[in-house]
Amino acid sequence: KEAAADGADLIVAVGGDGTVLETAEGLIGTDTVLGVIPGGTANVFAAEMEIPVDTCEALDFLLCDDMVVKKVDIGVVGEQHFLLRVGIGLEAAMTVLTEPELKNRFGVLAYLWTALHYGRTMPNTRYAITIDGRRRIISGITCVVCNSGNLGLQGVKLIPEIDPTDGYLNVVVFRQASLLAALGLAYNAVSGFVTRRKGAGRIRVERKDLTMYSIPAKEVVVEAFPPQVAARDGEEINGGFPLEIGILHNAINVAAHRREWE
């Protein structure tokens, strides 16, 4: 924040998504550009911006013609921020409950192990979700309020429509949990072949026993019965429910790869 106030043109965050978020918070509303050198376990935001994982390549990228500056949104939950998403239930458990030793040893695969371990026993929850003033009751294994849809690999997104520059969040509820559902979701993300039925701003995506709802929103309030663990960008949210979630449009300037936005 002090460097931005002193007129810095570019500030580079070296680390994982937590480091990137902390740096981004200091740049909200400034003209300073955020650059990212990936150095964490998942590096999801770097993947969203299509920044190379290799340190030397990432440094070269910041100086090359393929770099463009994009205005990116930041989510708000209570008085805290997030760049990626707020997860409730299984998605939050994956990030909060994964042991550091597993992350160091297996990288992003450690999260899959945690998901499979807890997904077998985690019961469905009734979510009361108020989206731009309209209340819905949806049962599911996890609810995710997304600013970014990237899953940690360049070009691989939860749902292609999720865009961190459009001024909208996407509320995604997974209705069922099973290995087949997880594999179906992975196939959808990698291939982009999903079955969509659009109507009233709602996209319903189905594949066999996988059922998922995605709803765009500006303001979201989420309650869970019974309560579940919740996290923002992998950090546990304390204070309980309801969670009040919003979006700051065009909050920061970010160095991104040109091909992601053409």
> Tokens for 85?
């998403």
- Same domain? 29 vs 85: no
For 77-103, give one letter per residue: b (16+ CB within 10 A) or e: beeebbbbbbbbbbbbbbbbebeeeeb
Whole-angstrom distance, CA of residue 242 vs CA of residue 219? 13
Q: Which residues of the chain have pLDDT under 50?
A: 183-210
- Same domain? 52 vs 91: no
- Same domain? 88 vs 113: yes
Q: Which helix (DSSP H) or strand (DSSP E) does residue 21 occupy?
A: helix 17-25
Among 53, 56, 54, 46, which Cα is nearest to 84's? 46
Strands 235-236 and 230-232: antiparallel
- Same domain? 44 vs 105: no
- Same domain? 69 vs 86: no
Give residue 15's domain range.
Answer: 2-74+251-261
144-185 pLDDT, tens digit each: 999 998 876 666 677 778 899 999 999 988 876 555 555 444
- Same domain? 60 vs 157: no
Whole-angstrom distance, CA of residue 102 vs CA of residue 24? 27
Q: Could you tell me the CATH number of the domain that includes residue 65?
A: 3.40.50.10330
- Same domain? 96 vs 63: no
- Same domain? 52 vs 14: yes
Kindly list the distances between the CA atom of residue 53 and the CA atoms of 44, 47, 58, 109, in Å, as whole numbers in the listed order.
Answer: 10, 8, 7, 16
Please give the pLDDT value at position 199.
41
- Same domain? 135 vs 244: yes
Region of 237 (left: φ > 0; alpha: ψ -120 to 50; beta: rest) is beta
- Same domain? 173 vs 221: yes
- Same domain? 163 vs 186: yes
Q: Report the half-sphere exposure of 168 (CA within 13 A, side-chain side).
A: 15
* Non-local CB neighbours of 243 within 8 Å, separated by 6+ positions: 77, 78, 86, 88, 220, 221, 222, 223, 230, 237
Q: Could you tell me the CATH number of the domain that includes residue 216?
A: 2.60.200.40
Total number of domains in the chain: 2
Please give the pLDDT value at position 198.
41
Please give the pLDDT value at position 187.
44
Among 46, 45, 3, which Cα is nearest to 27's? 3
Whole-angstrom distance, CA of residue 41 vs CA of residue 78? 26
Cis? peptide before 164, omega within 30° of 0:
no
Whole-angstrom distance, CA of residue 36 vs CA of residue 58? 8
Please give the pLDDT value at position 176.
67
32, 9 contact by CB (below 8 A) = yes
Facing residues of 247 across strands?
A: 75
149, 160 contact by CB (below 8 A) = yes
* The residue count for the chain: 262
- Same domain? 12 vs 105: no
Whole-angstrom distance, CA of residue 207 vs CA of residue 192? 13
Please give the pLDDT value at position 246.
98
